[in-house]
Structure 1
Amino acid sequence: MYLLKQNVAIKIVAILAIFTLLSVGASNKTLAASLADGEYSINYSVLRADSDSASMADGYFKKPAKLIVENGVHKVQVGISTSAITEFKVGGANVTEISKSGESSVVQFNVSSLNSPTAGEIHVIVEDQNYDHWYTIRFDFDESTANALSSQTTSTASDATNTTSDTETAASSTAKETTTEKVENPRTSDMSDITIYTVLMIVSVGIIVISIVNRKKLAK
């Protein structure tokens, strides 16, 4: 009888833990799905074509990306730190190059959904090593890390197209904003991790307490 009660109690604790974890995940998705029109910074990973493992190309894409939401359309701007990527396609179409400076460049492309990875193709050429290959990669954007960029930053970036001085101001403002967002981005994730660890701790303590109580009763 005692063992039966113990098993029932353990199942109840486990069910409560599962519901709590599901609630955390659902709240994060709801937050991401409610993105209004505007500009956001968002973290992402570059995955292999056939698995969720990080692609070797991941290190050549700068983080975070810039997400632009307008009338339900999602566009992202990502930075590339190498000129070895000579061609870049998403959905069979070439991405739009926003800017280029030396080895680095910024490109833009549409994303049909942030809930699933976006496939793309890159052409990598390293002439001095006689290296020439096409690779299929996937961009996995983490919706829970989306943070709105300030209207001041957006305005400054827009005015930057008029004069060189404005361009420098916009770059400085964007860099500061990006730094701020990088500090703030993990907060949502950290809160989720804290909740998960708390639930796991409660489950562990509950199981230990039940086991101790059961042993004492059996000893009697």
Structure 2
Amino acid sequence: MNMVMNRFEQFSFKRAFVALIMTALVFALMAPLSAKAAAADGTYNVDYTVLKDQTNETSRLDSYLTKPAQVTVANGKNVVRLTVKSSNLITAFKVEQNGVLQDATVVSTNTANNTRVVEFEVADLNAKVNAYAEITIPVIGYTGKYDVQLQFDEI
């Protein structure tokens, strides 16, 4: 009887050991597949959504920005350019940089089309980017202040 139990214990141990090794091997092989590689240097058109603060719901501000964004990747840095529509109504547009909201750099302004192009650096395009905007409509005496997040699609 003792000999039969010994064989059974050896068989169970071997089986458990093989199962453990196989599981570890599967996870080791899958890990590189789940990590997102950095995009190659270049310029990309990337769709994005402006989300209401701390939600996955589209913000009203989304309609004031054209799609797609232009993303330039160079030496590991991501520089995003957005075109702001109704530029005269968007009195402030800030993006979080190193934990602080900073004015996005105005690259160009087109008064005839009432647009402006702004740019800012984004460390991680896979993460939501905190932003802030003010919309002022003097005719109706409206000023809206919007804390939002920018969610970029994959390159």
Alignment of 1:56-205 (within 5 A): 56-83=60-87, 84-91=89-96, 92-102=101-111, 103-143=114-154, 146=155
Q: Please tell me whether residue 51 in structure 1 is matched to residue 55 in structure 2.
A: yes
Which residue pairs with 1:164 in the alignment?
Answer: none
Matched residue of 2:62: which SS?
Answer: helix
Q: State the superposition RMSD in angstroms.
A: 1.6
Q: Is the 8 A contact 2:47 2:69 kept in 1?
A: yes
Q: Equivalents in 1 of 2:143, 2:50: separation in Å?
A: 20
- Of structures 1 and 2, the larger Rg is shown by 2
**Amino acid in the other structure paired with 2:75:** N
Q: Is the 8 A contact 2:38 2:76 kept in 1?
A: no
Q: How many residues align?
A: 117
Q: Equivalents in 1 of 2:93, 2:38: separation in Å?
A: 30
- CA deviation after TM superposition for structure 1 residue 74, in Å: 0.8
Unaligned regions of 5+ residues in structure 2, if any? Answer: 1-29
Q: Equivalents in 2 of 1:50, 1:74: separation in Å?
A: 23
Q: Is the 8 A contact 2:104 2:119 kept in 1?
A: yes
The structure that is helix-richer by fraction is 1
The structure that is strand-richer by fraction is 2
Matched residue of 2:67: which SS?
Answer: strand
**Amino acid in the other structure paired with 1:42:** V
TM-score, structure 2 as length reference? 0.70
**Amino acid in the other structure paired with 1:63:** K
Identity, % of aligned pairs? 32
